[in-house]
Amino acid sequence: MDRRAWLKRGGALGALSLIAAPSIAAKLTEREIREFRPRPLSNPVLLNYNENPFGPSAKVRRAMTEAFDLGCRYPDDLIEELANMLATKEGVSRDHIVIGGGSSEGLKITGATFTRDGGEIIAARPTFLAMMEYARQWGATVSWVDLDESMTHDLDAMERRVSGKTRLVFLCNPNNPTSTIVDKNRLVDFCESVSKRAIVFSDEAYYDFIEEPDYPSMVELVKKGEDVIVSRTFSKVYGLAGLRVGYLVAKPELANRIRRNMPANTNVLALRAAMTALNDDDFYNFSLQKVKEGKQLMYSAMDGLGLEYVKSHTNFIFFKTGRNIQQFNNQMEAEGVRVGRPFPPYNEWCRISMGTIEEAQIFNKALKKVMS
């Protein structure tokens, strides 16, 4: 299958959504508004940071309010409580868990811990840059490997780059900004093989949005004692981006090295929020459903305009505008929508985050005007 055909696979599914569009665009019920807290409509509409447009949920807000009395306390006990909850969730012991202020902090500290003073990181291009940008400040070098023709990590090329100076191999899977995932069987083989020569870091910030059946988390390799580190976040499906809670899962030897270098803990309100969010299945499932609905609305608009896009495994879509991304960004903001930044070398492609249904409709209207 050639690249254009692969990309347009999503188009057929998007076209089918035209039939369901009226029900998809239904307004939220009073209960949904009360319990799941859609963000207020802004001008411009902010669809540029892959945030969840809902939350914190009513349950999480109550938990945070009740935690105000703990504001005079250090967060150590709550960190232990959340770490034990996460260990149970991931099927590991507590000493596998490292909690930080968002997963970005975990990425940065991991990069600095293992590659300072000249160690090499192998990473795809484009991808999420937090680890690489921070590690370079500590003397690391980065070996970039371009994505393949399907805008997916080129695992074969990445594996060939591994050498004696390689300390980390970074995978963002699903990838940001392209929203692609690698073949699940090849992923496991790659991580098992490469982790014998360097630490593999699997950034799974968007793992919850994957719809492919039985798609594996690399936590399974952590359980086997491999040199694999997995990052997860409460910023996306849980709707807590502003509270900054994330965590790593790694075998104890690696986790201890990272934990010693963590510069700060998160706070008691954020910890209570995360603990409550873990058990708020209603909000979790609602968030996933609204992402699906938003993507179908946007796919339909893109199909109507004949635009190429990648079938998304995340809460955003990567699509081709056919014009310089900075020009397109300015044009969209003039129409009241802020979209993602440039991601070289895909300078005619745009990343658009899922918003509320109302925000998606505003995006569609702006897109049609700008592309006409």
- Domains of the chain, residue spans: 3-56+281-371, 58-276
Instruction: Give me the mean pLDDT over the 289-295 stretch.
Output: 96
Structure tokens at 147: 């994505």
Share of the chain above pLDDT 70, in %: 93
C-alpha distances out from residue 361 to 3, 55, 366, 369, Å:
29, 20, 9, 13
Whole-number pLDDT of residue 290? 96
Structure tokens at 345: 């070398």
CA–CA gap between residue 218 and residue 216 (Å, rounded): 6
Please check the confidence at residue 21 and state whether its pLDDT lies above 90: no
Enumerate residues 6+ apart whose C-beta is below 8 A from 137: 112
Question: Other CB atoms closer than 10 Å to residue 312's CB: what's the count?
Answer: 27
Supply the pTM of this predicted model: 0.91
pLDDT band per the 50, 70, 90 thresholds, residue 261? very high
Domain 3-56+281-371 sits in CATH at 3.90.1150.10
pLDDT band per the 50, 70, 90 thresholds, residue 13? very low
Share of the chain above pLDDT 90, in %: 91
| Architecture of the domain spanning 58-276 | 3-Layer(aba) Sandwich (3.40)
Instruction: Give me the mean pLDDT over the 323-345 stretch.
Output: 97
Task: Convert the pLDDT of each residue in 58-69 to its tens digit.
Answer: 999 999 999 999
pLDDT band per the 50, 70, 90 thresholds, residue 186? very high
CA–CA gap between residue 354 and residue 362 (Å, rounded): 12
User: Residue written as tokens 């190429």?
Assistant: 308
What is the β-pairing status of strands 120-125 and 166-172? parallel
CA–CA gap between residue 117 and residue 81 (Å, rounded): 35
CA–CA gap between residue 343 and residue 349 (Å, rounded): 8
What is the β-pairing status of strands 246-249 and 228-233? antiparallel
Whole-number pLDDT of residue 26? 60
- Residue type (1 letter), 77: D
Contact (CB, 8 A) for 179 and 318: yes
How does the average pLDDT of the chain come out, rounded?
A: 93
pLDDT band per the 50, 70, 90 thresholds, residue 352? very high
Whole-number pLDDT of residue 263? 86
Q: What angle do CA 157, 188, 107 make, to 5 degrees?
A: 75
CA–CA gap between residue 251 and residue 259 (Å, rounded): 12
N-term to C-term CA, the chain: 30
